[in-house]
Chains A and B, each alone.
Chain A
Amino acid sequence: MIDPITLAVLAGRMEQIADEMDATLFRSAFNPIIAEAHDASHGLYHAATGDTLVQGKSGLPIFVGVMAFAVKAVIDKAARDGDLADGDVYIFNDAHIGGTHLSDMRLVRPYYHQGRLFCYLASVGHWHDVGGAVPGNYNPRATEVFQEAFVLPPVKVMRAGVVQQDVIDIILRNTRLPASAQGDLNGQLGALDLGVRRMDGLLAEYGADTVRAALDALSDRAETLIRAEVASLPDGRWEATDYLDNDGITDVALPITVALTVAGDRLSLDFTGTAPATAGPVNISRGTAIAAVYVAIKHIFPGLPANAGVMRPLEIIVPDRSLLAAEFPAPTGGYTETILRMIDVIFSAMAQAAPDLVVANAYGTINALSLAGYRRDGRRWVMFSFYGGGHGGSTDGDGLNHGNAPISTATIPPVEILESAYPVMFRQWALRPDSGGAGAHRGGMGAVYEIELLEESAEVFLFGERGRHAPKGAAGGGDAALNRFSYSQGDAWATPAMVSKGTGMRLARGDAVRLETPGGGGYGPAAARDPGAVARDVALGLVSAQAADAAYGTAWRGITA
């Protein structure tokens, strides 16, 4: 039994090691998706099971949880091959065994102490380009992973400390941006090296037995923590269903269903009833689905630590061959939309059990929008970004206007950077009035982005959602506005057949695209909103007078904001 003082100190020390690995990669990565948007993560994983032991604080939320599957894939591979050695580093991007999508390159390194395997260290980062049909790998038309990127299963990029240049050569020949890939690879190897050095120091100071005891105790305590949280919920069963608009190939709504059951200190999440795997790229792997559950749970209970102990009292049922457990080679490029909807239904079900704990739905789509074409001098340009929306209301107050998605911490590029790099002019970059759901605490506002083309022609690609099924309110609050996308063709405006998904839409000079994103859902009945707050929203132009009358009645009229 480890003493509580040493345990508290070691908890911080080990989290620190993961944080330092994050910092090392952020500083050294070449590509801005890692360096600026911090689309990466590092941690320590169990030697036998791959379970997450410790994960850094600064990595992207969705990676907390999904990395255990990447490590397990390496453990299985090494067991088959029987050649695991100190100084090995495995590399792969296969999303069907490692989770998320093919852009995320995973490096896994066994950590040995005095000749014995102690744990694994792992690093994941979003590379700029990994081949496939579309630069940047967001291909809404993909029906197989092979159209999304090259697929790398777990292979050794270092063998007993020796770099395997053959493997690196294969990888670099399969990307449009080899220099960027080499830079990110070096950064991830450097982060793992640092992790090894820090672990050496920690084990020399405390001894392997003490550190192992601390890791076990931390997982046990995480389990105790979540059991205490779950036990404070009422027993019962609650269901919620929401829909993806379509898979981008066939215009059919795709249900995602959860039944949440609380029994004492155990929590079950059953996704039976969810749509089967699809032709288009809104599939996710089972590992991604389980990681999405973790993200939702940690948003509800932010104090939970990032280790596998949290998952022990959870029973997660993901039906085979559903779009939450798609099999190779089903495409997974649009995994973000699917996990956002999973988080939404978990929140909606939990809101019935414990409304105080839950925030109403956020805007629920990343709206990956790209405009691409050729300049007069023949150079190709691709403007690619994700766009923001509103967050849900909660017991704390109104939802946040224009935030990033619950699975992300990435910021949006400034208009001025985009306009200086690409032949476009933003006509509007504004909050979208009436886009937040009504409620005692209303949802935050989504945004309006209108972008005019300044070149002769361009093609537009969009991967979004929530065009037909709005983000939901909680505890009696109203739904947010739908996602809306249109593009001009001279004087007329058109919309894509798949609503928020489309490829190859053509613009001429002076044409524009207009993206209006959803706000967040409202919290609590609109009738309970302070009329003074309604009057203030109207005075600020966030809520129109007509919408205010419809949602809140006319009590606000006559109040001076």
Chain B
Amino acid sequence: MTNVKEHKNITCTFCGALCDNIEVEVENNQIKKLRNVCAISRKKYEHALEDRTVPMINGQKSDYQSVITKAAEILKNSKNPLIYGLSSTTAEGQKNAVKLAELSGANIDSTSSVCHGPGTMAKQLVGMVTATLGEIKNRSDLMLFWGANPVEAHPNHSKRYSILAEGLFKKNRSEREIIAFDVRKTPTAKMADHYVELEPGKDFELLMALRLLINGKELNSEKDEIAGVKITEIKEIAEKLKNAKYGSIFYGMGLTMTGAKYMNTWAAMSLIRDLNSYGRFVMMPMRGHGNVAGSEITMAWQTGYPFAVNFSRAYPRYNPGEYTAVDLLANKEVDAAFIIASDPAANLPHQAAAFLKEIPTIVLDPHWNLTTDLADVIIPSAIKGITATGTVYRMDHVPLHLRSFLEDQWPDDAEAVSRIGELIENA
């Protein structure tokens, strides 16, 4: 006899857009049908129960309790450990990780530091004018995409929150004007009314040019262009920005991780701030990982700081550039690493990732990845939003509660981290 169960309003955790309208049909602990998923999440769901990690120590199969004990031992014996990742685990897992960092005098950092972290640093300089996604859907008459390509990276974004969404005051595509800024004509740019192609690495210049115009200053350029864009075109754009009733800008890593890095976002934040002297204007970072926003949120309420925190003095200290994972690893300053729900071997610069091979490295992850290949200890875990419950924060900091709909043999991240913490605390 088969037992088919339907689950509605499931939250997909694979990107920062956190669509919460997924429908799943389950039979014999297998996904039979999926509705409302995008191409990316369909693959993730369909292969969720494949390639699962098992407890391993030094390349040998082990058992769950042994890998937990071994992890505690490594962290306890380490003088300056690093806890890193966090963006793909739950808020509950993140909270426990901060406590573990405190107990073991560790550095703790999230993938935010190599993604939208520079934007958070820019926010600390000027602040940020933002809104929840529904607000933008409901009100925004002018939408800008800057170094962001949601059509490929957040496939349901345009339908649910932006270009094509039905809003309260703005009902459809024809009531919105869309401008895309990028270095190549992305699929998102193809959906826009205007595409502005700028020279790679010149975002700061273009943003500052717009800011000058907004503030009533003149633009001068010998070549009659800035960042590869004609002055006349920049002036036309500035007029559009000034005339928006409720403008919005979605920005991606094309802005935060290129050229002037955090000063790019600083320029964008300053521009958007200034535009509020005309109409309303808001901005939204297109966060990638499902709960990377949560990693900043949970760390902030416990430590006061969003990432790059060090506990060697028994209280939190914050210094991006010093306590950020890339720097700690590349400078060979840490003597052990605990990677939670992330794949630094695939994503960090080579010099930083390579150092993980030289120090005891623990990985907590439901799936095999490049980092598990070089790990000394592997702790398997349940999959958030599929076999594990918990809390995740969307790119606009809206919290959502995850339910599980499949069964798993492994405890979730929060429990694994908590058990390691208890072993250290009670040692």
Q: Decide if A and B are genuine partners.
A: no
Q: Which residues of B contact A (CB under 8 A)?
A: none
What is A's interface to B at a CB cutoff of 8 Å?
A: none
